[in-house]
Every structure is written in C-alpha cells, then in structure tokens.
Structure 1
Amino acid sequence: MSRPPPAFNVEPIDYAAGLPELRSVRETVFVHEQNVPLEEEWDDLDPLCLHVVARDADGRPIGTGRLTPERKIGRMAVLREWRGKGVGDAMLLSLVEVARQRGWRELALNAQVSAAAFYARHGFVPYGERFFEAGIEHQAMRRKLDGATAIEDRDAAIATTVAIILRARRRLWIYSRELDPGLFDATEVLDALRRHATSGHGGEIRILLQDADAAQRMHAPLLTLAQRLPSLFQFREVCDPADRAYPSAFIANDSGGYYFRALGHRLDGEADVEAAGRARQLAESFKPVWERSRPCTELRALGV
C-alpha cells in the first residue's frame, strides 16, 4: 500500500512579521547550499513583494516564494528534504493564482537552468539567452495568464513539447509532417515520451504523419523508440488529398494542454498547458483524420 503524501500547507506571509521564517528557508537554500552572497539574497524589492510560505504539519517553514511588483515570480526555495514532494508546485500554483486575481496578463521569472523544466511543466516558456546571476546560470521564462503563450524558437518549442507530454494523463495526439527534425529528435522530447510510455498508466500515443517515408529516410530517433514500445506508439499516414493539404501541426494531451503551429514546417506557434477547450478541439479534429488514414505497419520493423 502506498504511503499518503506528506502534509504541508501554503499561505501568504507578511514580510516583516515573517522575516525569520523566510530567512530560515532562503538562507539555507541559497546562501548555504548554493553559495549566493548574503547581500545579494535580500534586495530592496523584498518588502514590496507578496510572499508565500509552505509549512509542514508541525508549522515549520519548508518553502518560500515571492511575487514582485514587476510581475515576476522569484526566490522559490524548498528545503532539501522536502524536494520532489509537491511543495514547489503548490507554491507556484498559489502565486499564479494571486497574479490572476490581480488581473495580470503575464508572469515572468528567471529560472535556474536546473529548474527550467519544472517551470516549463507549469506553462512557462524560455526566451532570450541564458545568463549568470549570483554565479548561477539562469534562463528567463514567461507565461501568458489570459490565453496562449507565443512559441518563438527551438528552445521554447522543445520545453513546451516536453511539458505537454509530461502533463498528459494517458493520451497524446501528435499531427506532424515528418516528425519535425529539431523537435521530435531532441533528447529532452524523446526522454519525455519514454517516461510517458513507461509510466504504467496505460498511455497511448497516436501520431499522424503526412510523409512517413521522409521520417523513415531520416532514421528519426522516435521511430526507434516506438519500435521498442510498439503497443503504446501508433502511426498512421494521411491519404486523403484534403488531409494532405492541411498546413498545420500540433501536439495535444488529455489534460488540457496543446502546442499548435499554423505552419507545420516551422516551430513558431502558440501553447497553453491549461486550455481544455482548445486541446479537446484539436483532439476531436484529429480523430476523423486518424480513422481514414493508413496504418504505417512498415514503421514497426525498420532497420534503424
């Protein structure tokens, strides 16, 4: 029998009154673990921010985060023994909800590169070049709160695709021209697909291609992965001339996430991890095309 998750709660905290609790977490994580200079950890924005604190069942502080007047999330920290237990997710969701209540249309943050995938799972998209802050490599990220976030380059496309895959409950629908070199051959995307397919949740990944031969000629790595897990990956190739003229590409999951590209040969597009209506619309448009398309049985036995 699996153990219940450990109990904790997240709530806003007054900066002045809660400073000892904020210090106990932030200085443990940033100053002592990551060697951030103490004078750089605390700034003039702190008194102006909305802060949240996570506490364990005994009321001890175990995590912190803040929302700045510049509409940025920052100082997200979780004590080592509580990492991987949903504390960071709960704090981030709390801060996003506060921003929504304030009517903010977009949120930004500077993520430590090691934590960028965590933020991507929550719909934040990387932009711009990486940079160093307090001696640690960072990546700027942003998320629209009132609609889809623009995807403008390959890094954003990869991070978003990984997020859509990892947030899926069971099903993924992928419509692609030829398995999109530069996207579905990225190590991060292949790892996410492998994790989804082997999660034990009975996952199903349906992939519609416009040109199966091209994917085969390019020895697409995804085909090799699919060969190892043939019961989970299904491929079909569109046959109807009207379907072959479809110019777009997309990935959608069954938890309300999608990434849509109006021009399927390009990676720029739009994405949202919490857009159930749009994701459902894409899945429903996928299904009739799937039914009238040709099963790609030849992709199950490639010599790649």
Structure 2
Amino acid sequence: MTIRPIKPEETYPLRHDVLWPDKPVEYVMLDNDADGYHFGAFQETRLLAVISLFVRDGTARFRKFATRPDSQRQGIGTRLLNQVIEEARRLGAHTLWCDARLSAAAFYQRFGMKPEGEVFYKGEIPCSKYVLLLNNQPTV
C-alpha cells in the first residue's frame, strides 16, 4: 500500500460512497477543498481510503476521512491518519482536530485524541469533536 497526495476531486467518489451515499455528491464537496492537503491510500491503482487536511494559524483539522468498507480494519486508516498527524506537525500545527462519528470514537482515542464539547448530530449521526495536541507524541 502507498499513500500519496491527490487532488480534491479524486476524494469525492469515496467520500460520497462511504460517508453520505444517500446525499447528492455535492454534499461531500467542501468550499475550501482547494486550500487543503488531500491524501489517498492506494493498493496499486485502487484507491482504498482518503483524508483531507486543512491547516490555519497553527491549528489543523482533518475532514472527510473515508475507507472502503472492504478495506477497513486492515490498518489502512491507521497508516493514513499517522501520515496526516505527521504532515500537520510538519506544517507547524500545534493542535489537530476532527468532528468524529461516535461509532469511530475508539479509533481516534487510540491516537490520543480526546473528546471536547457536547455531542452533536450531523443528520441522524451522533458526533463529537476530537482533539489531539501535537507536541512530540509518537503516532500509533
């Protein structure tokens, strides 16, 4: 498996299929996609997972993290998130955060991310903000 930068539009099909298949594809397009760093995990030419990173004023946020269902629980998401954590550090961020579905909370907690604030809903999906302070903590 390889991880490499990709264009925002390369993320859209996987974002749509995995995260919001019942919405129009435009729903997964972000206004600031052009300002982000987008990464894809590939097995040869097959795109297995995507994640998008946005950094501003020392704070980094990742969004639209999606892994094909048939590729989940194989360490692909772990490798991809580790790469994004390192990229956020490289870009000078001191904090990394995301809005996480509660069904994925244990995954983010493995990286040392902690919930912050109240549970909220995106549609019917319960979510929480998860935050990681980026000092010299090792990745998992």
Instruction: Give the TM-score normalised by structure 1.
Output: 0.42
Higher relative contact order (CA 8 A, sep 6+): 2
2:81 match: 92
Matched residue type, 2:46: R
Structure with a larger share of its residues in strand: 2
Residue deviations 1:67-117 (CA, integer Å, cap 9, x gap): 013420111000010000011101100110101111111111110100011
Query: Match of 1:100, SS?
Result: helix
Unaligned runs of 5+ in 1: 1-7, 148-271, 276-304
Q: Deviation per CA, 1:99-158, whole angstroms, max 9, x where unpaired?
A: 1111111111110100011011011111111001243111101011116xxxxxxxxxxx
Q: Where does the alignment leave 5 or more consecutive residues of structure 2 unmatched?
A: none
Shift of 1:37: 4.7
Match of 2:73, SS? coil
For 1:23, the equivalent position in structure 2 comes to 12
Equivalent pairs counted in the alignment come to: 136
TM-score by length of 2: 0.88
2:51 to 55, 61, 65: 65
Report the Cα distance in structure 2 between the residues aligned to 1:134 and 1:59, rounded to whole angstroms: 33
Q: Distance in 2 between matches of 1:106 and 1:48?
A: 18
Question: Which runs of at least 4 in structure 1 moved beyond 4 Å after TM superposition?
Answer: none
1:39 deviation in Å?
3.5
Contact 1:36 1:134 in 2 (8 A): no
Separation of aligned partners in 2, 1:140 and 1:55: 28
> What is the aligned counterpart of 1:135 among 116, 124, 129?
124
Contact 1:37–1:134 under 8 Å retained in 2: no
Contact 1:36-1:135 within 8 A present in 2 as well: no
Matching residue within 64, 67, 73 for 1:78: 67
The offset of 1:38, in angstroms, is 3.3
- Find the counterpart in structure 1 of residue 7 from structure 2: 14
- Paired amino acid for 1:47: A
Q: Distance in 2 between matches of 1:124 and 1:36?
A: 29
CA–CA distance in structure 1, aligned partners of residues 123 and 3 of structure 2: 27
Q: Write the letter of the residue equivalent to 1:28.
A: D
**Aligned mate of 1:45, from 32, 40, 43:** 32
What whole-Å deviation, never above 9, does each CA across 1:156-210 have from its counterpart, x for those lacking one?
A: xxxxxxxxxxxxxxxxxxxxxxxxxxxxxxxxxxxxxxxxxxxxxxxxxxxxxxx
Structure exhibiting the larger radius of gyration computed from Cα positions: 1
| Alignment partners' CA distance in 2, 1:114 and 1:12 | 27
Looking at secondary structure, tell me which structure has more helix per residue: 1
